[in-house]
Amino acid sequence: MRTRMEIVRYIEPGAQSPRVGLRRDGKVLPLPWASVAELLRESRDELRERLTAAGDAEVDADAVTFLPPVDGRTEVWAAGVTYERSRTGRVEESSEASVYEKVYDAERPEIFLKSVAWRVVTDGEPVALRSDSTVDVPEPELAVVANRFGEIVGYTVCNDMSSRSIEGENPLYVPQAKIFSGCCALATGIRPAWEVPDAGDLAISVRVRRGEEVVFSGDTSTARLHRTLDELVAALFAPTDFPDGAILATGTGIVPELSFSLAEGDRVEIEIAEVGTLTNPVVRGREPMSWLVDALDRPDARRKAQL
């Protein structure tokens, strides 16, 4: 059986600073980089060689707290309307439906900034609903991890939280519908790109639990993407430098009917084959996410939600 390998960011009990490691077989192997941002300054070939040559001093994965696998100047961006179902869903909700029909087939994809590193949450931590939003959904997405050269070096799971009511009111409100405290979650691990046999054909599933009941579920595959991963990354990097790399969520192919909305207390569970899982409880408003400000300078103070 092939050993599953993931790049992780973590902090040990009593430590003041996070570390970067390689998680496999329930152990974490510390790596020589001080941050994920520093790791993403390496070329793909250099990174693969250094990970292969990593030592064998390990710590127990159960003894550490895993942090979002993004830090420093690395940013999280997102692509929109990259699946046919996403186009259909946006047309249904929007007062300006033609905008979404046009961008689906346009040469230029929709790409927008999703989050700076310190606002990202990870597995077990809450995602949020805006207090002024009435229709809110999770968006399960494959996230591509690119180094500073624009090379795809890894993949992770993203929940691109979205307010359908705000975006539907006016497409110019997209930043407000997409960017807020608790809007972006990433799985704890980054799967090296060479460990994933075919990123163009990965099963994606989402389940929303309300108590013991599954109130929404959906499935899709990256094979249904309208654009290739390389095309999306190339569009992101074409006008902009990313000295510490970037993470690009590649859009969702699972959009609930407009009658569905997330509620406070729900639990969102996402799984992407060969990549990982991501589970987050749902809160409402800004205040339940205020701990992120404290965690900015004190990662050891990160609060883990009880699932």
**For residue 296, what pLDDT is reported?**
87
* pLDDT of 307: 44
Listed residue (268, 58, 229) closest to 146, CA to CA: 229
pLDDT at 288: 95
pLDDT at 298: 85
Task: Give the pLDDT of residue 2.
Answer: 58
The pLDDT, as a whole number, for residue 206 is 98
Cβ atoms within 10 A of the Cβ of 24, count?
Answer: 16
Phi, psi of 263 (to 5 degrees): -130, 155
Between 84-93 and 97-105, two packed helices, what is the crossing angle to 10 degrees?
Answer: 160
List, run by run, the mean pLDDT of 10-residue segments along the chain (307 residues): 84 91 94 97 97 83 95 97 67 58 86 97 97 97 98 98 94 95 98 97 98 97 96 97 98 93 98 98 96 87 56
H/E stretch holding 233 reads: helix 229-237
For tokens 């902009």, what's the residue? Answer: 240
Following DSSP, what letter does each residue of 32-66 receive, concatenated? S-SSHHHHTTS-HHHHHHHHHT-----EEGGGSEE
**Is the distance from CB of 61 to CB of 6 less than 8 angstroms?**
no
Residue 103: its pLDDT value, please? 83
